[in-house]
Structure 1
Amino acid sequence: MRGAMGKLHHRVACTALVDAYTELSRLVSTLDETDFPRASRCAGWTVGDVLFHVLLDAQRALVTFGTPASTPPTADYISYWRDWANHRSEAAAAAHARFVRIGASAYADPRALAAQWHETAQAVLRFASVMPGSDHVATQGYSLTVTDFLATLAVEATVHHLDMLLELPGRPQPRPGPIELTVDVLDALLGDVDVRPAWDDLTWLLKGTGRLPLTPAEARGLGAVANRFPLLG
């Protein structure tokens, strides 16, 4: 998936984001009023809460596209997540979770939330299709190339797409491209290990993001590396 010198090709990142947002939108289109209150893989969050969280991420993307960075890149599509893992705060996560629950509950009709997601996602994809991949943008205290930023959006959407499916069997799944990109990110975050459990891609995504716990045998096989899980949130 990567191009020369370990860099992510802009077309790969852009296509992954298009696939991630398009398929997530297709999932959202299948939701009725009884689906939004269903549980998700994010502890304490409903399907509607997760959708609101991803909507916030898409809104942040629009701000980021309009915020040129004043410095060279300080992170790429891998180190962005590594820094999250190194600096994650339980207090900040709890505060954000509360904000999301309150924000999502403010929609009197969850279909309005779905409609806002659809129009915001389309706006993100329109901007993503015309911005040069080498441009530098600023977000959350980082400077990233547009290419790397698009990849972070695709990974976020893919993980949360899976979150929403917990009680929604038979609904649209993430497409292979975004799944492959997310697997690449998890592989890079894990690094070299003596024993890697024989996970399929979806299980790796759920284990690597803490949605499924490591079994005692998996933890023993990974050794000290197991203490770094979840690798990505």
Structure 2
Amino acid sequence: MGAVRSAFHDECDRLGAVLRTLDRSDLDRPTRCAPWTVADLLAHVRTGAGRLADMLAAPAPGPAQVDAAGYFGAAKFLPAVDAARIAAARDQAAAGDTGPSPGRTGAVLATDFDRAWRATLTAVDAHPADRVVRTRHGDAMTVTEFLRTRVVEVGVHGLDLAEALDRPPWLTPTAARVIADLLTGGQALPPDLGWDRLTLIGKATGRSPRSRTEQQALDTAGIRLLAFGG
């Protein structure tokens, strides 16, 4: 839990600092997560970062059934589920602090985002690391494993936001380590690939392509990267 908690804290804190620099025009930019704008994607990230507080307020459902890798299964990316996720973020952005009012800027978003992720950590700190929660998809997971998925959400979508805003990636070292370990199952990459963690995350999540030579190196080493929805 210690490493995962630190990663979540660091990545959310970094994103909050970025939000404070955004103006209204930044929020209207398109992202690679079509049809979401920056405002839509931020609404999605904010909801995900704050979800665990409510989950921990509910009764524990019983023994854990999946870990973080199992959480990112094909069922989360079915067309109907994906459509609902897209619509929810757009509705939240339109109704909340990312709405069309010209007075709503990144500073306002940052305040709301900080409140959400800090509430999550407060709730996490009040429970044991093996406390089981039920996700909105019905999965029973330990709080540590679900928090690991939140690191992935904030960190990977942070890469999408950085691209949309024409800024260098701000992925923190603690979050990069947690995400990379999840994507590789903790296995060491072949040294000849020459990938750092940021490159690995981009290649594994489809943000940048893998060459045939790179895939062959992974296959030879027996490494099957976690593929979201695969």
What TM-score do the two structures reach when normalised by structure 1?
Answer: 0.79
d(CA) in 1 for partners of 2:111 and 2:117? 10
Identical counterparts, % of pairs: 32
Task: Name the aligned partner's letter for residue 147 of structure 1.
Answer: T
Compute the displacement of 1:177 (Å). Answer: 0.5
**1:58 has 2:49 as partner:** yes
d(CA) in 1 for partners of 2:110 and 2:192? 39
Per-residue CA shift, 1:110-137, capped at 9, x if unaligned?
4344432222122112222332212122
Given the alignment, which residue of 207, 212, 219 partners 1:211? 207
Spell out the pairing of 1:1-233 with structure 2 (5 A cutoff).
10-81=1-72, 84-85=73-74, 88-106=77-95, 107-109=99-101, 110-111=104-105, 112-139=108-135, 140-170=137-167, 173-188=170-185, 197-219=193-215, 222=218, 231-232=227-228
Runs (4+) off by over 6 Å: 191-196
d(CA) in 2 for partners of 1:17 and 1:97? 23
d(CA) in 1 for partners of 2:174 and 2:166? 21
Distance 1:213 1:68, change over 3 A: farther
Compute the displacement of 1:34 (Å). Answer: 1.7
Alignment root-mean-square deviation, CA: 3.0
The answer as to whether partners of 2:17 and 2:110 remain within 8 angstroms in 1 is no
Per-residue CA shift, 1:58-98, capped at 9, x if unaligned?
332221111232211111223222xx246631342133223
191-200 or 137-146, which deviates more: 191-200
Distance 1:58 1:167, change over 3 A: closer
The answer as to whether partners of 2:27 and 2:37 remain within 8 angstroms in 1 is yes
Distance 1:133 1:119, change over 3 A: same
SS for the counterpart of 2:185 is helix
**Residue ranges of structure 2 left out of the alignment (5+ in a row):** none
How many residues are treated as equivalent by the alignment?
A: 219
The answer as to whether partners of 1:65 and 1:127 remain within 8 angstroms in 2 is yes
Task: Name the aligned partner's letter for residue 6 of structure 2.
Answer: T
Task: Name the aligned partner's letter for residue 84 of structure 2.
Answer: A
SS for the counterpart of 2:25 is coil
The answer as to whether partners of 2:30 and 2:164 remain within 8 angstroms in 1 is yes
SS for the counterpart of 1:165 is helix
Distance 1:196 1:75, change over 3 A: farther
Task: Name the aligned partner's letter for residue 45 of structure 2.
Answer: V
Compute the displacement of 1:29 (Å). Answer: 1.6
SS for the counterpart of 1:137 is strand
d(CA) in 2 for partners of 1:194 and 1:17? 28
Task: Name the aligned partner's letter for residue 132 of structure 1.
Answer: P
**Residue ranges of structure 1 left out of the alignment (5+ in a row):** 1-9
The answer as to whether partners of 1:85 and 1:231 remain within 8 angstroms in 2 is no
Task: Name the aligned partner's letter for residue 153 of structure 2.
Answer: E
